[in-house]
Amino acid sequence: MTDPLVKICGLSTPETLDAALDAGAAMVGLVFFPKSPRNISIENASRLAERARGRAEIVALMVDPDDGLIDEVVERVKPDWLQLHGKETPERCARIKMRTGLKLMKALGVSEGSDIDAAMPYIGIVDRFLFDAKPPKGGEVPGGNGIAYDWSLLKELDLGVPVMLSGGLAPDTIAEALAISGVSAVDVSSGVERERGVKDENLIRAFIANAKRAGVGE
C-alpha cells in the first residue's frame, strides 16, 4: 500500500495552508476565479505560495483565463501547475502550455461514462486530468460543489496520463472513493470546509489522515 497523492484546493489563509502542508498534502490549490467563494487575490496567493514552496506543489486554478491573468499569476505566484477548469479547448491548452512552460491539469466534468471521452483530444497536451462532478444546472462555479458521481467510472482507466479524482470527497467518504475508483490521486475543496469557501483545519487533517490510512494499491 502506498499513500495517495492528496491535493487540497481553494486555500486562502496561512493557517489552513499550514494544516494541509503539515498533514502531508502533495499539492495545494489557489483559486483565481471571481465567481468562486474561494477566489484569492494575487497578492495573497503570492504570500501563500512562498509559504508552501518546496513543501508541496503549487497549483493555480483558473477558468477560461485570458493571457493577461495567466501572465500575472505565473510571474507573481510562480505556480508549479496551472489547473484549467473551464471550457478550454485542446488548442487553447496547447497555447497556454507553450506560453508558460508549466505543467497543465485539465479538469473535466463527469456525470456518466461517455463524459470520460471528452479527455481524448487533450491526451499528449495536458499532464494530468482531474475528473470532477458536473456542476448543478445553472451553477456558476464549475468545481467545488460537493457533488459526487459514480467513482467506479475511473476504475482501471488508462489514458496514458495521470488521473485525479474530485467530487463529493470528504473525510468520511475518501476511503470508499479510493476503493471504488482505484485512483492514486485525489482533490478536495468543499469537503474540508465548515462553511462554503471557509476551510477547516481539523477537516483538512482528517481528510489527509483518512486518505493515507486507506492507501492505494495492494
Q: Is-catalytic flag, 93?
A: no
pLDDT of residue 83: 98
**Which residues, 6 or more positions from 101, have their beta carbon under 8 angstroms from its beta carbon?**
none
User: Are the C-beta atoms of residues 57 and 185 closer than 8 Å to each other?
Assistant: no
Q: Is-catalytic flag, 132?
A: yes
C-alpha cell at 162: 495521470
CA separation, residue 144 to residues 68, 81, 121, 153, 218 (Å): 25, 18, 24, 19, 30
Domains: count for the chain: 1
- Cα atoms in the 13 Å half-sphere on the side-chain side of 12: 19
- Cβ-based neighbour number of residue 15 at 10 Å: 11
- Report helix, strand or coil for 167: coil
Looking up residue 60, the CATH number of its domain turns out to be 3.20.20.70
User: Structural domain of residue 157, as residue ranges?
Assistant: 5-214
pTM of structure: 0.93
pLDDT of residue 143: 47
Q: Which of 22, 115, 127, 132 is catalytic?
A: 132
For the chain, 218 residues long, the average pLDDT of each consecutive 10-residue run is 95 98 98 96 98 98 98 98 97 98 96 92 98 70 62 92 94 96 96 96 98 83
The candidate with the shortest Cα–Cα distance to 24, out of 70, 63, 56, is 56
- Report helix, strand or coil for 2: strand
pLDDT of residue 142: 52
pLDDT of residue 137: 57
User: Are the C-beta atoms of residues 125 and 90 closer than 8 Å to each other?
Assistant: yes
